[in-house]
Every structure is written in structure tokens, then in C-alpha cells.
């Protein structure tokens, strides 16, 4: 069974389980607060201040050097621990030190991101700390990971299924997968999108000299499961007069990064912006795109796709069960083939009526199913219920820590 989050919080006090001092939640498994790296970090940037405003004390475990220098709102605390800075060891090492520190501090509940941290849940459970764990996507199916790394993620998922009190899935399809393969129910809470105050076309004109509706946009890290190599192959097949804007990158020696750089060197219509931390510019790019290409394939509900919908971008997406779940009829779909991608992008870019229809449908669907108001409220209800239930069972209800 997949438990779907409710739209409204209702009349009851979400923190009625707690007495005395403010409840405390530890957020573990992201690069920290505030960070602009990916979906988990986007969620935490929104969720931590929201919970603090609602009376929670929020400890966000953070990695030194991975957060930006911004004002920390009252009620939110950065807690830095140390780990090994490497592709293969960073998640596990930082997860271990964060869980060990949280176990010592003993918050009312832990919100843990990523099944790789499932190995360390026994540390929290031994201290009576209830755990809500966001399972993310199917990490053990990502092409970027080696076979040993995939096994590590798969085993971490097994540990997560065994020790987490509640599992959160950002996709109904991901929830089905967990029920069938791990015999665990999940609570469905997707990502949200920010509706921009205005299209901010001037930002796109100032930065790139492009007019609204004139360009193809892609926003993704350059990894195989995001279909970026096929996208760049498709760009080579498109008319060189069509502007192409790409926000994303990989390491300089990555083959997809090298292919992108070579293409941009040959064709002046290709604009590589790298990884963008400027949300306003990103929203302006989505809001004014002629077509947005979304090639993500294994991640469940993808934050970039939800944000593109909130901005009203006409979408051509890789045809996966996850992207169809999110878009419904509010997007066009393509196979993983350069010629097909090129044709779908070109066709939609040249059809103003179809683009307007998809833009309107995307905004409506995003507002109905993927608003931050719904998402943040659902997370608070989830962690409140899990913490309150565990407090009642353990006899801690009404006691001060």
C-alpha cells in the first residue's frame, strides 16, 4: 500500500504529541543547509525554515565546504561532521558521522535522506530515535555507479526497509517498487515547485541575448541516466539556427562533458551555463523556454521536472513510467534515440499552439499535485505522527529531554 499525503493539515495540532520544549528533528543525508546541489538540498532549503516557523528545532547535518554563506533562520542549526571526500565514500562516511552525532544528541525524530544511510539506522534505533527515511530513486539501477556501488545501495535499501519507522517515496511508482521488492509500505510525498512572480524575460535577454520561446533548454547533471549524451547527439542533428541552452555539468574529464564542450566550440548556438545556483535565473530559463528537454530516467519524481511545470515550460520528456506519472497529459514524450529526440524538440518548438496548450496544462497539474504548500505540510504531518507514536509507545510522552 502507498499512503498518499493529504492536501490540508486539518484542525488538529500537529505537535500535540509533544509537551514542554519545542520538538527537535535531525535532518541527515544531504550536503547540508543551505545547499544548491540537487533535489534533497532543494527540499531541505524549503523544509528547514518551514518547520522552524512552525515551532520545531531543526538540526541539519552539513558537510564543510558544501553549503553557501547565507543567513541561517532562527530555529535552524547547521551541524557539521566530517567524512571522506570521494565519490565512493562521501555519502557513507558523512552518513556515519551524522548518525553517530544525532544518536548522541537524541532528537525527537530523524529525517534521513538516501537508502545508503540505512546501514546506520541501528545507531538511531538503539537510542530510541524514530526514523522517517526518504528512499529517493532506484540508486542501484543508475548507470553511473559501479557494480560494487550498486550492491552497496541495494543492501542499504534492505537495511532501510528493516529499520526505518516510515519510508517516504516521492513517486507512486517508487512506492510500488518498495512494496513488491522490500515488502514495505511507503508514504507518498513528492517534490514541490515555485511559481515565479513573473517570467523575467529580461534575465534571459541580458545573459544570453535570447527571446522568449526561441530556445531549447536542458537542466541536468551530465550522467548517463539523464540521457544527456543522446541529447547532445540530437542537437547535432538539429538546425544550427535553433538556440540550445544547457544548465548542468560534470567533471572536465567526463566523456559527456567533453562531448558537450566540443559541440559548443563548433556551434555558436549552444550555450553551456554549467551548474547554476541562481534560482531566479533558472526559473527565468524555464519560464521562457520554447521547449524543455527532460531526460531523467530512474529517479522517481524529479525536482527539475516539477519546477519546469511550475514555470509553465513546454516539456519533451524521456518516455519512462516516472515521467508519465508526473506529467500525465501535460507533456510530450520521446524514446532514447537522437533522431527521435531531435524530431520531437523541433516539432514542438515550431508549433506555438501546442506549446501554449502544454504550458497551461503543466502549470495546472503542478498547482494541483506538486505545490510546496502541500509537500511541506505533508512532511510535518509525517514526522509529527512518527515521533508522537514512538513517544507514546516508549512512555516518553510529557517528559522533558
**164-189 average pLDDT score:** 96
pLDDT of residue 174: 95
**250-274 average pLDDT score:** 96
pLDDT category at 7 given cuts 50, 70, 90 is very low
Does residue 78 carry a pLDDT above 80?
yes
Residues in a beta bridge with 318: 334
pLDDT of residue 143: 75
% of the chain at pLDDT higher than 90: 83
Does residue 202 carry a pLDDT above 60?
yes
Does residue 348 carry a pLDDT above 90?
yes
pLDDT of residue 2: 52
Does residue 10 carry a pLDDT above 50?
no
Quick: pLDDT tens for 209-226: 999 999 999 999 999 999
Over its C-alpha atoms, the chain yields an Rg (Å, rounded) of: 21
State pTM to two decimals. 0.88
Backbone angles phi, psi at 31, to 5 degrees: -75, -10
Helices 255-266/228-237 angle, 10° precision: 20
Bridging pattern class, strands 216-219 and 109-113: unpaired
Does residue 235 carry a pLDDT above 70?
yes
Three cell numbers at 369? 499535485
% of the chain at pLDDT higher than 70: 92
Does residue 130 carry a pLDDT above 60?
yes
Bigger pLDDT: 1 vs 178: 178
Does residue 394 carry a pLDDT above 80?
no
- Pick from 62-66, 137-141, 346-350: least confident: 137-141
Does residue 399 carry a pLDDT above 80?
no
- Pick from 80-94, 274-288, 313-327, 373-387: least confident: 80-94
Q: Name every residue whose Cβ is closer than 8 Å to that of residue 110 and which is 6 or more positions away in sequence.
A: 25, 26, 27, 28, 99, 102, 124, 129, 130, 131, 132
pLDDT of residue 39: 87
pLDDT of residue 398: 41
Closest CA to 59 of 105, 1, 124, 127: 105
Three cell numbers at 399? 517528559
Does residue 20 carry a pLDDT above 80?
no
pLDDT of residue 11: 35
- Contacts of residues 143-147 at CB distance under 8 Å and 24 or more positions apart, as own/partner, are 143/223, 143/224, 143/225, 144/223, 144/224, 144/225
Amino acid at each position: 500500500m502507498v499512503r498518499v499525503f493529504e492536501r490540508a493539515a486539518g484542525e488538529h495540532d500537529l505537535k500535540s504529541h509533544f509537551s514542554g520544549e519545542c520538538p527537535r528533528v535531525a535532518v541527515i543525508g544531504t550536503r547540508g543547509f543551505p545547499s544548491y546541489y540537487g533535489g534533497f538540498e532543494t527540499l531541505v532549503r524549503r523544509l528547514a525554515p518551514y518547520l522552524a516557523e512552525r515551532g520545531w528545532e531543526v538540526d541539519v547535518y552539513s558537510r564543510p565546504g558544501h553549503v553557501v554563506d547565507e543567513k541561517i533562520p532562527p530555529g535552524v542549526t547547521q551541524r557539521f561532521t566530517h567524512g571522506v571526500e570521494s565519490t565512493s565514500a562521501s555519502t557513507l562516511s558523512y552518513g556515519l558521522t551524522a548518525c553517530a552525532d544525532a544518536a548522541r544528541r537524541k532528537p525527537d525524530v530523524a529525517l534521513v535522506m538516501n537508502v545508503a544511510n540505512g546501514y546506520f539506522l541501528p545507531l538511531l534505533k538503539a537510542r530510541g530515535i524514530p526514523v522517517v527515511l526518504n528512499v529517493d530513486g532506484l540508486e542501484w539501477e543508475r548507470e553511473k555507479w559501479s557494480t560494487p556501488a550498486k550492491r552497496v545501495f541495494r543492501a542499504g535499501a534492505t537495511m532501510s526497509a528493516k529499520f526505518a519507522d516510515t519510508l517516504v517515496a516521492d513517486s507512486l511508482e517508487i512506492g510500488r517498487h518498495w512494496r513488491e521488492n522490500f515488502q514495505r509500505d511507503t508514504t507518498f510525498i513528492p517534490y514541490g515547485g515555485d511559481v515565479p512572480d513573473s517570467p523575467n524575460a529580461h534575465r534571459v535577454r541580458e545573459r544570453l541575448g535570447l527571446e522568449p520561446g526561441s530556445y531549447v533548454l536542458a537542466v541536468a547533471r551530465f550522467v548517463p541516466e539523464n540521457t544527456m549524451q543522446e541529447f547532445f547527439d540530437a542537437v547535432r542533428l538539429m538546425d544550427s539556427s535553433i538556440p540550445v541552452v544547457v544548465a548542468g555539468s560534470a567533471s572536465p574529464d567526463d566523456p559527456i562533458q567533453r562531448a558537450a564542450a566540443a559541440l559548443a566550440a563548433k556551434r555558436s548556438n549552444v550555450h553551456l551555463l554549467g551548474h547554476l545556483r541562481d534560482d531566479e535565473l533558472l526559473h527565468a530559463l524555464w519560464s521562457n523556454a520554447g521547449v524543455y528537454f527532460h531526460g531523467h530516467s530512474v529517479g522517481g519524481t524529479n525536482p527539475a521536472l516539477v519546477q519546469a511545470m511550475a514555470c509553465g515550460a513546454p516539456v519533451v520528456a524521456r518516455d519512462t513510467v516516472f515521467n508519465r506519472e508526473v506529467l500525465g497529459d501535460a507533456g510530450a514524450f520521446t524514446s532514447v534515440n537522437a533522431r527521435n529526440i531531435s524530431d520531437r524538440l523541433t516539432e514542438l518548438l515550431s508549433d506555438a499552439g501546442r506549446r501554449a496548450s502544454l504550458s497551461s496544462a503543466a502549470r495546472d497539474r503542478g498547482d494541483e499535485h506538486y505545490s510546496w504548500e502541500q509537500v511541506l505540510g505533508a512532511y510535518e504531518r509525517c514526522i509529527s505522527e512518527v515521533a508522537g507514536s514512538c513517544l507514546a509507545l516508549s512512555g516518553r510522552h510529557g517528559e522533558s529531554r
